[in-house]
Structure 1
């Protein structure tokens, strides 16, 4: 692969996972399949924005949305193989950030402790 072939792929990757909250949503789903309200409770994000990000991740093939025909209807989100492949990237960013990023703990929810 030519180095010029890599740039558009890298840029698209960064555009996808670099959106606000997307990395943390993926991090949350690394724990396993979860319902919307569980993800929403774990992250300091509005329901509207969480819904938007989950739809984007579903369109990219990173998140799977499963609807279970129960009463009431149960909807569960999980990472696809494509999404699970991001685990090493997320963990590497986690390690990098612990070394290089000085984070104001007042701006980060304690539930996000990595």
Structure 2
């Protein structure tokens, strides 16, 4: 029996077996934005509970996230990126940069502005601080949502709360 991704030595194919669908990438986006709880991730990805459960289980099985119990009754877990999961940030960042450049109208503006914590300057769409030339990782950055993106996220939250009641 061939294990997932082992039918080829191609690293692109093997990587896509783990992170190559929309829902997985949106889960990773939310984890990088600081969401740790199922409901938070579900609200912003708009995934069904079944879809989100399957993606989080797959990320856990592949060592990308680890579950941590935060409530005994009822049993509830939060999801945290592992080192392996944090290492995929350049891929998420590259998709963000490409999407900002090629998938939006110029007048829409950048959805998330990142500044380098060390110097406070904007890093733009790159992974190198334009001010000090330092290569940055997600942990080195402060994020600020554009007004439009913040409203979009707040609206998703309000719709979710209206449908389900208290979370």
* Runs of 4+ that moved beyond 3 A: 68-72
Which residue matches 2:42? 40
- Structure 2: gaps (5+ residues): 1-7, 106-151, 154-167
Q: Any residues of structure 2 matched to 1:1-114 within 5 Å, and which?
A: 8-32=10-34, 34-68=36-70, 70-101=72-103, 110-111=152-153
Instruction: Name the CA distance, whole Å, in 2 between partners of 1:98 and 1:37.
Output: 27
Distance 2:9 2:47 in 1: 31
Give the C-alpha shift of residue 16 in structure 1. Answer: 1.6
Q: Secondary structure at the match of 2:98?
A: helix
Aligned residues: 102
Q: Is 1:33–1:79's contact at 8 Å kept on the other side of the alignment?
A: no
Give the Å deviation of 1:54.
0.3
Higher Cα Rg, which structure:
2
The TM-score with structure 1 as length reference comes to 0.76
Higher relative contact order (CA 8 A, sep 6+): 1
RMSD: 2.5
> Shift in Å at residue 31 of structure 1?
2.3
Structure 1, unpaired ranges of 5+:
1-5, 104-109
In 2: Cα distance, 1:66 partner to 1:33 partner = 13
> Larger % of helix: which?
1
